[in-house]
Amino acid sequence: MGGDEHQGHKEGLAMDDSASFLPKWAYEGLRWLVSVVLPATATLLSCLNAAWGWGLPMEAILATFGGVETFLGAVFLGAKYKTDIANAVQ
């Protein structure tokens, strides 16, 4: 056996099956949601609230969006760190 047994990636997986807990498509989709969709939605709500005078409690809404984004970002960072360590050991 050569040293390439861990180099091949199965279609649709982010990393080796034993080290990854999410398929690549799910990881990329959730990462896009956290880094693009949630901040854009918060900005849109804030702008529309100001423009149309909806009277929404924007401070609470923006704090909630920020907290969710930070939490999910930390979870993804931890998961990536765990996967990188597991792949390095192999």
Domain ranges for the chain, please list them: 24-89
Confidence of residue 18 (pLDDT cuts 50, 70, 90): low
Q: Which of 90, 80, 88 lies closest to 21, judged by CA?
A: 80
pTM value is 0.69
- How far is it, in rounded angstroms, from Cα 33 to Cα 35? 6
pLDDT above 60 for 42: yes
Q: Is 59 helix (H, G, I), strand (E, B) or coil?
A: helix
Write the DSSP symbol of residue 8.
Answer: -
How many CA atoms are closer than 13 Å to the CA of 27, on its beta-carbon side? 16
Instruction: State mean pLDDT over 50-58.
Output: 96
Instruction: State mean pLDDT over 59-68.
Output: 96
Residue 11: the pLDDT is: 45
- How far is it, in rounded angstroms, from Cα 11 to Cα 4? 17
